[in-house]
Amino acid sequence: MDTMNNHKEPVPTTSKVSPTAKKTLLILNCILLSIGNCGGPLIMRLYFLHGGNRVWLSCFLETAGWPFILIVLIILYIFRQNTDKKTTLIYMRPRLFFAVAFIGLITGLDDYLYAYGVARLPISTSALIIASQLGFTAFFAYLLVKQKFTPYSINAVVLLTVGAGVLALHTSSDRPNGESKREYMLGFVMTIAAALLYGFVLPLTELTYNKAKQGITYTLVLEIQMVMCFFATIFCAVGMIFNDDFKVIPREANNFGLGETKYYIILCASALVWQCFFLGAIGVIFCASSLLSGIIIAVLLPVTEVLAVVFYKEKFQVEKSVSLLLSLWGFASYFYGEYKFSKKLKDKAQSSQLSMELSQADYSSV
């Protein structure tokens, strides 16, 4: 990320991390993002399929796993204290705290929009709609962090967005039994709104890194994630209070189709898996960019599609096939472009090194 300047001295936005460590962190966060992106929607849909109907409870669970990060931070602090007695307990400064808290509230709203969509739509449909998030991420990344695009990345964004739009041609063809067309359409619109809003959140998080005016370490990334999820959880908890969800939970557990024990297991698993998603997404932004985070989320679409069809026996109509084909084409385009760009940089570096060696040889011969 770019270096920030204040009036007295330059303050880097990221601390120096070795390429090997950064690559390891990137792989780790990609794994977490994969688990959360594929498992989160499936577990959430399982709740609704077997008698659960509390949307505010579902969106609450998307970020309610934040105490897990607190445990990790405490362990890291104890480890640091053993090696450096002067280490601080909290790295986050007030300026960054308030910015992250604001993003957390936006995330809470996005959680509600997404949970509402999952409650009304089959997973295979909502996953394809969420693919349009990449287009929104690219747009806001260009506006907020001046993300540079290649013809291949532009092609990928267009294909993924169009692929999601194909579903609008026959929006009610996979409407669940007993659900009105109005509810289905509202779920469709809510899911698009969720894609748009989270497409804004990813670049906004990257912008927050850039404007933080303090070194961004991975420990600080964990603090950012915890604060973000804490405020998102508060937002959803307020909705639960007004909707009387806390009072209804015991009764809903008794009437749950899979039994009371599995009801609570599903709630806990949902909180944990969704935390993997958010931690992975924000970690990929730290190691790379918000656009790459959006790309990975979109890349996992086929996996979510297949799992939804296998486990929930969802329909897979022609328009979904076309949408999936366009999405895969977009993925291939993006990664081919990244491969060519990396190869070009490598060839340029080798050419520069060769020119330097030849110049040194000529100078020595003189």
What φ, ψ does residue 288 adopt, rounded to 5°? -140, -95
Cβ contacts of 238 within 8 Å, gap of 6 or more:
none
* 215 three-class SS: coil
Q: Map tokens 């969509």 to a residue.
A: 117
What pTM value is reported for the model? 0.79
Q: Please name the residue ranges forming H helices in 243-259.
A: 245-254
Each residue's pLDDT, cut to its tens digit, for the chain (366 residues) gives 333 333 333 333 445 566 777 788 888 988 999 999 899 999 999 999 999 989 999 999 999 999 988 988 898 888 888 887 778 888 899 999 999 999 999 999 999 999 999 998 888 788 778 877 877 887 888 888 877 777 877 787 787 767 766 765 655 556 777 677 888 889 889 999 999 998 899 899 889 988 888 888 888 889 998 999 999 999 999 999 999 999 999 999 999 999 999 999 999 999 999 999 988 888 888 887 777 787 788 778 777 877 888 888 777 777 777 777 877 787 777 777 767 776 776 777 777 777 776 666 655 555
Separation between Cα atoms, residue 274 and residue 149, nearest integer Å: 30
What φ, ψ does residue 314 adopt, rounded to 5°? -75, 150
Q: Are strands 10-11 and 4-5 parallel, antiparallel or unpaired?
A: antiparallel
Separation between Cα atoms, residue 118 and residue 115, nearest integer Å: 5
Structure tokens at 78: 């104890």
DSSP result, 94-163: HHHHHHHHHHHHHHHHHHHHHHHHHHHS-HHHHHHHHTTHHHHHHHHHHHHH-----HHHHHHHHHHHHH
Mutual orientation of helices 290-299 and 318-365 as an angle, nearest 10°?
Answer: 140
* 216 three-class SS: strand
Neighbours of 310 (CB within 10 A): 9
Separation between Cα atoms, residue 191 and residue 200, nearest integer Å: 14
Structure tokens at 47: 């709740």
Q: Map tokens 């909705």 to a residue.
A: 239
Cβ contacts of 200 within 8 Å, gap of 6 or more:
106, 136, 140
